[in-house]
Amino acid sequence: MTTNRLQTLDLSTLRSFATIAETGSMTRAAERLFLTQSAISMQIKRLEASLGLSVFERSARGMTPTSEGEQLLNFAQQMLSLNDEAMGRLTSPDYEGVVRFGVPGDIVYPQIPRVLKEFSRDFPRVQIKFTTLGTFNLLREFDQGKLDIVLTTEQKPRPEGEIIVTHPLIWIGAEDGNAWKKRPMPLGFARHCAFRASVIRVLDEAGIAWIDQVHSERESAIDAMVSADFCVSARLKTSKIRDARAIDHGGQLPELPDYSIALYCGDKQVNPIVQTFADYLHRAHS
Q: In which band, very low, low, confident or very high, does the pLDDT at 8 lie, cut at 50, 70 and 90?
A: confident
Indicate whether 27 and 16 sit together in one domain. yes
When divided into structural domains, the chain yields a total of 3
Is the pLDDT reported for residue 286 higher than 70?
no
CATH of the domain at 267: 3.40.190.10
Distance separating alpha carbons of residues 109 and 112, to the nearest angstrom: 6
210: how many CB neighbours lie within 10 A of its CB?
A: 17
Residues 247-267 have pLDDT tens digits of 999 999 999 999 999 999 987
Structural domain contains residue 76: yes
- Quote the mean pLDDT of the chain: 89
Q: In which band, very low, low, confident or very high, does the pLDDT at 2 lie, cut at 50, 70 and 90?
A: very low
Indicate whether 30 and 172 sit together in one domain. no
Distance separating alpha carbons of residues 59 and 46, to the nearest angstrom: 20
Distance separating alpha carbons of residues 261 and 151, to the nearest angstrom: 6
Q: In which band, very low, low, confident or very high, does the pLDDT at 229 lie, cut at 50, 70 and 90?
A: very high
Structural domain contains residue 2: no
Structural domain for 84, as ranges = 11-91
**CA 149, 154, 156, 162 torsion-angle sign:** positive
Structural domain contains residue 3: no
Indicate whether 253 and 196 sit together in one domain. yes
Distance separating alpha carbons of residues 124 and 102, to the nearest angstrom: 19
CATH of the domain at 57: 1.10.10.10
pLDDT at 83: 86
The top-scoring range by mean pLDDT among 19-23, 117-121, 208-212, 240-244 is: 208-212
Distance separating alpha carbons of residues 217 and 191, to the nearest angstrom: 6
The percentage of residues in the chain with a pLDDT greater than 90, rounded to a whole number, is: 64
Please state whether beta strands 162-174 and 149-154 pair in parallel, antiparallel, or not at all (unpaired): unpaired
Do the beta carbons of residue 252 and residue 206 sit within 8 Å?
no
Residues 137-194 have pLDDT tens digits of 999 999 999 999 999 999 999 999 999 999 999 999 998 999 999 999 999 998 778 8
Indicate whether 255 and 183 sit together in one domain. yes
Structural domain contains residue 57: yes
Residues 93-118 have pLDDT tens digits of 667 889 999 999 889 988 899 899 88
Mean pLDDT lowest among 43-52, 195-204, 233-242: 233-242
Is the pLDDT reported for residue 123 higher than 60?
yes
